[in-house]
Every structure is written in C-alpha cells, then in structure tokens.
C-alpha cells in the first residue's frame, strides 16, 4: 500500500523551556540528596509524563502543604506559590526547595515593588491558575485585582486611578494580552507596568513559531496537557493564524486520525512543559502512516539556561 505524502512543519522553538528544565532537575536533585519520598506541591510542570516519571523515582505530588509531613522535603512547582506557602513551611521547620521559574519570581518581585511604592496592583491572568494564585499571593488577600479579558477592564474598581500598576502571567497569549494592556492604558493613562507585559521569552517564541507555520498547515497538533496554559494558548494562536484544525494531544494515542483524513500539510509544536520524547512519539506515529517530509521552521534560537541551585538546603 502506498502511503500519502505529508509535509510536516516542525516548529522551533518548541517544548521544554529553561524554567521547566530547571524545575525538573531540582526534583531529581532532591530525590538524589534526600531519597524518597520527596513531596512536590502541585505538578512540578503541567505534564503527566513528566509527573509520572518523577513519581516512579519517589516523588509524591500533592496540592497543598498540609498534605506533606513535617519531616520530608517539599519542592514548590515552577508556577510559583503565594508567600504564605514558604512561610508555613518555615514555621513547620520543613526542608523546602522553591522551583519557581526565575522569570515568575521576577514578576513576584515587580508586584511587591509596586505595592511598596503605594500602587494598587492589577494582574492580567487566568483565574484559578497556580501562577496567578502565586503572583497574587505575593501581596495580602484582596490587594491584587484580577483581569482576564478586555471586558473585565471596564468593570474593575480601583482605589485611585492615578496610582496603579499591572503585572501579567508569563504564559498568556501575546496578542490578547496586548489588547488588555491597551484597554488598561486607555482607561487608566497613569498605570505603570513592564515595557509590554511579563510574558516570557519561551511563551513568546513558541507563539511566533506557530504563527509562522499555521497558515500553511491543514492541521496543527500541539503536544501538551489540557491544564497547561502555554500549550492551550498555542492551539488558540494556530487557529487565529489560519489553521482551522488545531488540537492539543498529550500522546500519539490522542491523535484523531479520522479528523486528519486527507491532509497534505501538518504542523507540530509543543508547549513548554512537553518533553521532546513525546514530540518524537507523535512525529513517528505520522511516519508510520504517511510518507513524511519534515520541514523544520525555526523562527528564533534560544540559549537561555537557568542555574540549578548547586547545593539544596540541608534540614535546619
């Protein structure tokens, strides 16, 4: 049987970012240093394959600190935690390691700095997402106002329109966020904030790469998890950029082959928390069924690397 030809546009950059790489290494180092079990508060990154791999090595994933015993180490996930979390760990004299991405920590510091200067904070982010909870939790409850959409900007009630600042989640849609920032600046001309927003290099680059391939693709698959904000944004970006069929897949088994019937050009990318081995798995599933020609489309080169703490803190 002859296989149909398929052009496979492989986006670059895709997959793991520096913050994810560092966070996973921190859990591995903690397991090496202290042995199992090491507790991890929240999925270290939003990827089942990564989480299952660490579980097999002895990591225990929980949602809240009160699920951890006092006498075992705990790692905080890459998404960041409210200030109350390390405070509680310290009060319980627990050993804890913070795997918050340095680019998320930077936003935490920004929020604190603005508040120290007497500015009321507005956060652009998704309600309930751990990064949003963590960033808003750098200040006392109720101090940070959340806006999720342009429409929310019209409703937000501020103390003093002349004394405002904003921060954002790092994994948002660059274009949607630009619209929200513009709406904030139109309503509150004195608002201060970052140069554009706080979206990180990895999020920006992955969205740019998708924009470059999406118009040429009959279908585009994003390897990533349904709870991964940055991965879900890549699906939206692909659709907006002109690829009507864009879907998230966690593994090759998620591919809906019937929906792909008759395609001639496919795009593949991956969210920042998806390991390359899963991208290979998806690509190989297409090689099994099609006569694949891979075209790598690289829109940026990344050389960001975050240092992993050389020595994890000893128990007090």
Q: Give the residue nearest to ligand 0CH (CB).
A: 228
Residue 136 φ/ψ, nearest 5 degrees:
-65, -30
> From the candidates 43, 110, 131, 148, which is the catalytic residue?
131
Q: 13, 19, 125, 275: which one contacts ligand 0CH (CB under 6 A)?
A: 19
Q: Which residues contact residue 274 at a Cβ distance below 8 angstroms, ignoring those fewer than 6 apart?
A: 14, 15, 16, 47, 223, 224, 225, 228, 231
Q: Which one of ligand 0CH, ligand SF4, none is in contact with 46 (Cβ closer than 5 to 8 A by kind)?
A: ligand 0CH
Report CA torsion sign: 18, 24, 29, 34.
Answer: positive
Count CB-CB contacts under 10 A for residue 228.
24
- With beta carbons less than 8 A apart as the criterion, state whether 269 and 223 touch: yes
Report CA torsion sign: 193, 194, 197, 198.
Answer: negative
Q: Give min distance, CB of 299 to ligand SF4, in A.
A: 17
- Is residue 202 a contact residue for ligand SF4 (CB under 6 A)? yes
Runs of H (alpha helix) within 100-173: 102-116, 130-136, 150-155
- Is residue 17 a contact residue for ligand SF4 (CB under 6 A)? yes
Kind and range of the H or E element at 247?
Answer: strand 245-249
* Segment near ligand SF4 (CB under 6 A); pick from 120-128, 196-204, 212-220, 260-268: 196-204
- Is residue 231 a contact residue for ligand SF4 (CB under 6 A)? no
Residues in 92-131 that interact with ligand 0CH by CB under 6 A: 101, 104, 131
Name which of 158, 145, 147 is nearest 182 in CA terms: 147
Strand partners, 146: 123
- Is residue 137 a contact residue for ligand SF4 (CB under 6 A)? no
Q: 46, 108, 114, 211: which one contacts ligand 0CH (CB under 6 A)?
A: 46
Q: 131 catalytic, yes or no?
A: yes
Q: Which one of ligand SF4, ligand 0CH, none is in contact with 18 (Cβ closer than 5 to 8 A by kind)?
A: ligand SF4
Question: Considering beta carbons, is residue 33 or 239 the nearer one to ligand 0CH?
Answer: 239
- Is residue 167 a contact residue for ligand SF4 (CB under 6 A)? no
Relative orientation angle of helices 18-34 and 102-116, to the nearest 10 degrees: 100
Positions that interact with ligand 0CH (CB under 6 A): 19-20, 45-46, 78-79, 101, 104, 131, 170-171, 228-231, 271-273
Q: Which residues bind ligand SF4 (CB under 6 A)?
A: 17-20, 78, 101, 103-104, 170-171, 200, 202-203, 230, 272
């Amino acid at each position: 049987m002859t296989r149909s030809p398929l052009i496979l546009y492989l986006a670059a950059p895709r997959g793991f970012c520096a913050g994810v790489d560092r966070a996973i290494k921190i859990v591995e180092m903690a397991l090496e240093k202290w042995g199992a079990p090491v507790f991890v508060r929240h999925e270290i990154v939003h990827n089942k394959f990564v989480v299952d791999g660490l579980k097999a090595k002895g990591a225990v994933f929980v949602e809240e600190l009160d699920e951890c015993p006092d006498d075992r180490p705990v790692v905080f996930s890459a998404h960041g935690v409210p200030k109350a979390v390390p405070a509680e760990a310290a009060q319980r004299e627990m050993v804890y390691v913070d795997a918050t991405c340095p680019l998320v920590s930077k936003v935490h510091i920004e929020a604190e700095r603005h508040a120290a200067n007497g500015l009321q904070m507005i956060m652009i982010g998704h309600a309930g997402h751990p990064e949003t909870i963590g960033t808003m939790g750098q200040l006392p409850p109720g101090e940070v106002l959340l806006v999720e959409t342009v429409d929310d900007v019209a409703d937000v009630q501020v103390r003093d329109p002349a004394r405002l600042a904003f921060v954002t989640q790092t994994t948002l849609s660059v274009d949607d966020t630009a619209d929200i920032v513009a709406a904030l600046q139109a309503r509150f001309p004195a608002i201060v904030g970052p140069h554009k927003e706080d979206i990180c290099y990895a999020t920006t680059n992955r969205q740019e790469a998708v924009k470059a391939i999406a118009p040429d693709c009959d279908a585009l698959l994003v390897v990533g998890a349904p709870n991964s904000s940055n991965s879900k944004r890549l699906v939206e970006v692909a659709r907006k950029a002109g690829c009507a069929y864009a879907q998230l897949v966690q593994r090759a088994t998620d591919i809906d082959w019937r929906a792909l019937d008759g395609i001639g050009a496919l795009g593949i990318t991956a969210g920042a928390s998806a390991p390359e081995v899963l991208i290979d798995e998806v690509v190989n599933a297409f090689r099994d069924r099609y006569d694949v020609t891979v075209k790598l489309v690289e829109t940026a080169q990344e050389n960001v690397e975050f240092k992993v703490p050389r020595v994890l803190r000893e128990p007090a």
